[in-house]
A and B are shown apart, each in its own frame.
Chain A
Amino acid sequence: MSNEKQQVSRRQFLNYTLTGVGGFMAAGLLISPIRMAVDPVLKESSAGDLANVGLSVDDITSEPQRIDWSVDQVDGWYESEVNRSAWVYRNEDDEIVAFSPVCKHLGCVVSWEGSENHPNEYFCPCHDGRYYKDGTNVPGTPPLAPLDEYEQEVRDGMLFLGDARPREEA
């Protein structure tokens, strides 16, 4: 009953096993991208999920305030904690709005009332880019698009933010 096994020479044995391993590895290569796309457990990062940013909605006023939080992110080779920031306020319709502070010109960080000369606007220190309170870029300044807006949700009175998305042109 062990006849067949004994007929396998050493070389053949090695051959089989190596092919086996190679085949297995190739299968791994083929499978992983698909699994990454389908299997939620293996999904790239939690960055797409909404994160509790530690701000109670009761504390959100019509005055934009800066909040900072961090999320885990896989970026190529590195897995790291990335810091995120937002400017959050309540607009005239009493809706909560959270803007990304990243300037749409070349990416510097904008601040609410960041320049004394331009009250009631967001200001970019790099090339004097400006945005109105509703995030729309001020014409004639370098940025050509409104500030990105974060996906958001309110759970149990706390603000949760996701990814920043470009807004429709105003």
Chain B
Amino acid sequence: MKWRKNDIQQYVQSKEYIDTILLPLIPIQLSSDDDAEKHASQSEVMNILANEIEKELTGRIMLAPNYHYLKSADKQLESKRLNGWAEDMKKQPFSHIVYITFDSSWKKHEKDISDNLLWMPAVQVGEINSKEMHGIIREQVGQTVELIRSYWQSN
């Protein structure tokens, strides 16, 4: 399920089956040319990745809107905001919230976040539509799906 009208309508009717939120954490920063390009490209990859995962598990996962933040922002503050999002979402019967990100700086704040943080190393992107890139993304999708299934099983 995605954050769009039709999906939410369906969600409201089948809540008992959709118990997991997938929430991409995506840093932005426009002030430096090089970094901006890197962030934009990683954000593109993250969107593809998140959409593919959603497609595999659409009947049990709600893909939340991306959480964007300044790369240089204070992560402790951001964690607080994020927990606010999570708190609101949990007013629905979601039993798993999974944050997915390429930004390793979240690792240091894992304890500040009340839910599962799924960090994966950013791939160096050449051409996003290349065969090679497709392979890499498919691989990451497969691994992430397995991981999410393991969260389900441990419940």
Interface, chain A (partner B; CB < 8 A) = 103, 105-109, 124-127, 142
- Neighbouring B residues of A124 by C-beta, 8 Å: 59
- Neighbouring A residues of B56 by C-beta, 8 Å: 108-109, 125
B146's nearest neighbour on chain A, judged by CB, is A125
- Neighbouring A residues of B149 by C-beta, 8 Å: 125
Main secondary structure of the interface of A (DSSP, over half): loop
B41 adjacent to chain A (CB < 8 Å): no
Nearest 8 CB-CB pairings of A with B: A106-B59, A126-B60, A108-B59, A126-B59, A107-B58, A109-B56, A107-B59, A108-B57
Q: How many residues of B contact A (CB 8 A)?
A: 12
- Neighbouring B residues of A107 by C-beta, 8 Å: 58-59
Would you give the shortest CB distance from A76 to chain B, in whole angstroms?
A: 11
B59's nearest neighbour on chain A, judged by CB, is A106
Docked Cα-Cα span, A124 to B60, in Å, equals 11
A106 and B17 contact, Cβ closer than 8 Å, known pairs A125-B145, A126-B60: yes
Would you give the shortest CB distance from A107 to chain B, in whole angstroms?
A: 5
- Neighbouring A residues of B58 by C-beta, 8 Å: 106-108
- Neighbouring B residues of A126 by C-beta, 8 Å: 17, 57, 59-60
B14 adjacent to chain A (CB < 8 Å): yes
B55 adjacent to chain A (CB < 8 Å): yes
- Neighbouring B residues of A108 by C-beta, 8 Å: 56-60
Docked Cα-Cα span, A125 to B18, in Å, equals 13
